[in-house]
Chains A and B, each alone.
Chain A
Amino acid sequence: MLEINNLHARVGETDILKGLDLTVNAGEVHAVMGPNGSGKSTLSKILAGSEDYTVTEGRVRLLGQDLLDMSPEQRAAAGVFLGFQYPVEIPGVSNMVFLKSALNAQRKTRGEPELEAGDFLAWVRHRVKQMKMDPAMLSRGVNEGFSGGEKKRNEILQMLVLEPRLMVLDETDSGLDIDALKIVAEGINALRSPERATLLVTHYQRLLDYVQPDKVHVLSGGRIIKSGGPELAHELEEKGYGWLSEQRAA
């Protein structure tokens, strides 16, 4: 479903991704782990279409479409969703207005009819309930004054409302309390299906206890240096990343 081949990307003069390969099949959940600064957020944002990075080589395909040729909004309509490591505040724009514009813009691009106000409201309320959030948050500004954990939960709410095909979640588990982590995990699992794929960027085993990955990858120095099954995450938790680079050096 998602195929990344030999991806090279830079910001300014600095190369960050240096030949990254990764394939995620429909229905699968892959975890991406790796040291700070190794390029995990860079990869996530490139998938969503950020213009901060220049792709110098390689190819990214989603369901056979060439993602790199598409604008961020086209990618969203094609089913890409990025849960931001640092969700952005948009003061004065209510979550409700934001979600409705987003959903209807995507539907329009896909040639689907826009949702009626009433239907949309019912849909959003259902998702808010699922995320155990206070419906009053819908009239507050997008992430405006939200706590770190609330912002993360709001990312998953947006994801549940938009129902993407590819979910890229960049450290959505960081900053969540124990209960919130469970709710977020349930949200992710609710969208797990044979038509969807998930890329979970995380530093901790915790989230993976709730959302079982099919594969775990280690991203370091701009490349995937090791891939394995769920047991790899346990191993990393125990030993850290040092042994991997030693292994590579050897």
Chain B
Amino acid sequence: MSTNTQDIEALVRNRPYSAGFITEIDAETLPPGLNEDVIRALSARKNEPQWMLDFRLKAYRRWLTMREPTWAHVHYPKIDYQGISYYSAPKSMKDRPKSLDEVDPKLLETYTKLGIPLKEQEMLAGVAVDVVFDSVSVGTTFKKKLAEAGVIFCSISEAVQEHPELVRKYLGTVVPFGDNFYAALNSAVFTDGSFVYIPRGVRCPMELSTYFRINERNTGQFERTLIVAEEGSHVSYLEGCTAPQRDENQLHAAVVELVALDDAQIKYSTVQNWYPGDEQGRGGIYNFVTKRGDCRGARSKISWTQVETGSAVTWKYPSCILRGDDSVGEFYSVALTHHHQQADTGTKMIHVGRNTRSTIVSKGISAGRGQQSYRGLVRVLESAENARNYTQCDSLLIGDQCGAHTFPYTEIRNPTAILEHEATTSKISDDQLFYARSRGIGEEDAVSMIVNGFCKQVFKELPMEFAVEAQKLLQISLEGAVG
């Protein structure tokens, strides 16, 4: 194992919420509130072209006509959208640093604390990292090596400047600006995020990774990620998230769009560790995210893997539109809710092309008073001859005050479709615990071992280093869950 992985391990071992520190940095933050002037100011600050501003304004006007969805199985106080600041940047970022050496050392220190040293020489070999701190991207490592392969990996703001034709061609084509309430809000005010472009036939030479961190009080984070894989290309992308520990709730409403053309493959992994709130349910991140992949080309493949241990409230359904013939969509998910966390998560698989296949493996773990819902839709359109879906949905309960709910929806318009669905709900049994303890394994280690076993099918989909991180995260998230 590399040093970096050990850093991450050491990091996640700190307890209880190790990423909960606040960085004292002089920040330039727009006053709270949202109107067209704020959007114009934000766009001007980022020096955006007119088309980008127009996109934002269109989305904003649509958002004004929309209502916050209430169908999810989650409860939280009403969000005051005028009480949030929509832009915050560390002041030193204003004169954009040309290289990492010019980045404020305090920022770099923050990321080192998180186990993400930005200095390339210290980096885990083979992983390029883009980091987003509040609203702006701080720096992208390994840029040169990627450029040699023709891969573009940069912040979305930079892409708007440097590759406007690509951004304009794909932005909003998977998640339209008016798709849903949060997506419309994001389209209006998104501040930064990552952009990835893999040219035809290229296998991206390394894992790409983005870390998002919310630091400022009362700011929302609205990041926007766009990944385009041209014909025959491959890419594996990992997203990690943290936020400081604060008593107020903070809003995070991201949009992620993936486009896979003929024979292209995109693997998108998330290890989400936003601050979940304390044991009484105070504070924590509201995580309302729209993630969608478009298998636009024949034989293309998009695979979502997510490990969700954080956030106070999660509303998230990474989806695949299987447009190309013989395209494949996959969703592997582990979601853990502890204390007062609530999660309503799942996926949508939309079968459009012929011989399209999808696999859904969802593992939900609830402990304490955690409430969790799996919500999954499998839709097979008339055009989708021979569509196949396999859905497996397992829930594990720890204690008797938590809950697991399953809402599977299917809409089949083509009789050749074959769907398989399996669902189980189990408790960590006293017998299993006693068995492990009678061999000398302590109670908490036994619980985390049994939970890891439960999640194995999903963890094996993660890149090795992150599988280790995910296991440790589960372990600390479950502390105090028994006994």
Contacts and interface: CB of A to CB of B under 8 A. Distances in A.
A and B part of one assembly: yes
Interface of A: 45, 48-52, 71-73, 75-77, 80-82, 84, 87-93, 97-98, 101-103, 105-106, 109, 141, 158, 162
Given A52-B430, A88-B432, A93-B449, A72 B454 contact: no
Interface in B429-469: 429-432, 434-443, 445, 449-450, 452-457
A90 B453 contact: yes
Nearest to B442: A73
B455 A106 contact: no
B453 A141 contact: yes
Interface string B235-266: 00000000000000000000000000000000
B438 A48 contact: yes
Contacts of B450: 90, 93
Nearest to A71: B437
Given A51-B430, A72-B434, A92 B440 contact: no
B439 A98 contact: yes
Contact of A97 (B431, B438, B443, B449): B449
21 contacts: A49-B437, A52-B434, A71-B443, A73-B437, A76-B437, A76-B439, A76-B440, A77-B440, A84-B435, A88-B431, A88-B435, A89-B432, A90-B449, A90-B453, A92-B452, A93-B452, A103-B440, A105-B441, A106-B439, A109-B440, A141-B453
Contacts of B449: 90, 93, 97-98, 101
Contacts of A52: 430, 434
Interface string B82-100: 0000000000000000000
Contacts of B432: 88-90
Contact of A106 (B429, B440, B443, B445): B440
A162 B440 contact: yes
User: What's the interface size class on B, roughly?
Assistant: 20 to 34
A76 B438 contact: yes
Contacts of B441: 73, 101-102, 105
Contacts of A98: 436, 439, 449
Contacts of B455: 92
Nearest to B426: A91
For the complex of A and B, list the 9 residue pairs with the smallest distance between their C-beta atoms, beginning with the closest: A92-B453, A76-B440, A93-B453, A92-B456, A106-B440, A102-B439, A72-B437, A88-B435, A105-B440
A50 B438 CA distance: 8
B455 to A, nearest CB: 7
Nearest to B456: A92
A101 B453 contact: no
A57 B414 CA distance: 69
A90 B456 CA distance: 12
A98 B446 CA distance: 9
A91 B432 CA distance: 10
Nearest to A109: B440
Nearest to B428: A90
Contacts of B436: 90, 98, 102
A91 B454 contact: yes
Nearest to A80: B438
Given A77-B440, A89-B432, 11 more contacts: A73-B443, A88-B435, A90-B432, A90-B435, A90-B450, A92-B453, A93-B452, A102-B440, A105-B440, A105-B441, A105-B442
B443 to A, nearest CB: 7
Determine which residue in B429, B449, B454, B455 has the highest number of CB atoms from chain A within 10 A of its CB, and name it.
Answer: B449
B444 to A, nearest CB: 11
A158 B452 contact: no
A177 B44 CA distance: 80
Contacts of A76: 437-440
Interface string B39-52: 00000000000000
B430 to A, nearest CB: 7
B440 A87 contact: no
Given A90-B449, A93-B449, A98-B449, A158 B439 contact: yes
A70 B3 CA distance: 39
Question: Of residues A48, A91, A93, which shows the largest number of chain B Cβ atoms within 10 Å of its Cβ?
Answer: A93
Contacts of A89: 432
Contacts of B452: 92-93
Contacts of B454: 91-92
A82 to B, nearest CB: 5
B389 to A, nearest CB: 23
Greatest chain B CB density within 10 A among A48, A89, A92 is at A92
B382 to A, nearest CB: 39
Nearest to A97: B449
A180 B215 CA distance: 62
A48 to B, nearest CB: 5
Contacts of B429: 88
Contacts of A91: 453-454
A92 B437 CA distance: 17
Given A92-B452, A92-B454, A92-B455, A101 B437 contact: no
A103 B439 CA distance: 8
A107 to B, nearest CB: 9
B214 to A, nearest CB: 33
B478 to A, nearest CB: 15
A105 B444 CA distance: 12
Contacts of A72: 434, 437-438
A100 B332 CA distance: 28
A156 to B, nearest CB: 13
B211 to A, nearest CB: 29
B271 to A, nearest CB: 19
B453 to A, nearest CB: 3
